[in-house]
Amino acid sequence: MTGRGRRQSEWRPQRARCRRRRLPYAARRLIPVMVIIGAIMIYQVMEQSSAKVGSVFDGLYSSAPRPAMETIKGRASVIDGDTIEIAGQRVRFNGIDAPESAQNCQDAKGLEYACGRKAASALDKFLAASRPVRCSFVEWDQYGRFVGNCFRADGKSVAGWLVESGHALDWPRYSNGIYAQHQTAAKRARLGIWQGQFQEPWDWRANRADEIVPTTVAPSPGLTLLGSFSCNIKGNVSSKGERIYHLPGQKFYRQTKISENKGERWFCSEAEARQAGWRKSQR
């Protein structure tokens, strides 16, 4: 057999084997379809994975602590006996606790009086005597408030004055006893709430944690109280004029600032907000 004949005879079985390994025509037609389906499935998996990663980063971002602020300074509006607002930012006095806006105490004769309102009124007069107020940053609390050590323009400590006047208590849990001497002096002189009987504000709140405390006591003349511990629902008016309320813990709660000049307000309950024409934020 010639060389050419041998090559042809060797090639025929190989070609036959190749033919035996080839897929049927119908199966070959399905290959492009399967490739397309596979590509779509891979794309969907990658898209879902990227969404999950994105949500993780979003969660990390939203739960990240707010940056510290050195100081905040300006004309203060009184919220209650231990909280003010400066330029739309709520400021909680560090290391003290005053009676809540709806809290009552007993005077020396055993008669009830609105000690929470009285503390707020006294604070308003004290701040008006030497403006503006300057507060140094300590931390952010769970409600998004700036917690700080505040002073009048004349350098007088606001928290120190409230405690030594008997309008607030030293709060050892946060103060490390820095106002203990102020409190001892107020107690000895029977000033403010020390003239009679009262419940510590932190205990008063704990006993009413599940209650909605309405603001029913009329404020002193010339004093506008902007809220209390339970009235922390923010009634915002959007740029489109839509009335939306935000609850603590919702996405936009912290960054929402309340401006009464725009018709915005604080609410003590969701029912109150809805009745006034506000709807709940969707996020």
Instruction: Indicate the pTM of the whole model.
Output: 0.57
Residue by residue, DSSP assigns 115-173 as HHHHHHHHHHHHHHTS--EEEEEEEE-TTS-EEEEEE-TT--BHHHHHHHTTSSEE-HH
What pLDDT is attached to residue 25?
A: 60
Nearest CA-CA partner of 93 in 142, 145, 50? 145
Q: Where are the domains of the chain?
A: 3-63, 71-207, 233-280
CATH for 71-207 is 2.40.50.90
Q: Could you report the per-residue pLDDT of 236-271, keeping only the tens digit for each?
A: 999 889 999 998 778 888 888 887 778 888 777 788
Provide the H-helix boundaries in 67-114. none
Q: Could you report the per-residue pLDDT of 170-223, keeping only the tens digit for each?
A: 999 999 999 999 999 999 999 999 999 999 999 998 887 655 443 333 333 444
Instruction: Give, in order, the Cα–Cα distances in Å from 147 to each of 48, 84, 164.
Output: 41, 10, 20
Angle at 279 between CA 276 and CA 280, to 5 degrees: 130
Q: Could you report the per-residue pLDDT of 83-136, keeping only the tens digit for each?
A: 999 988 999 999 999 999 889 999 999 999 999 999 999 999 999 999 999 999
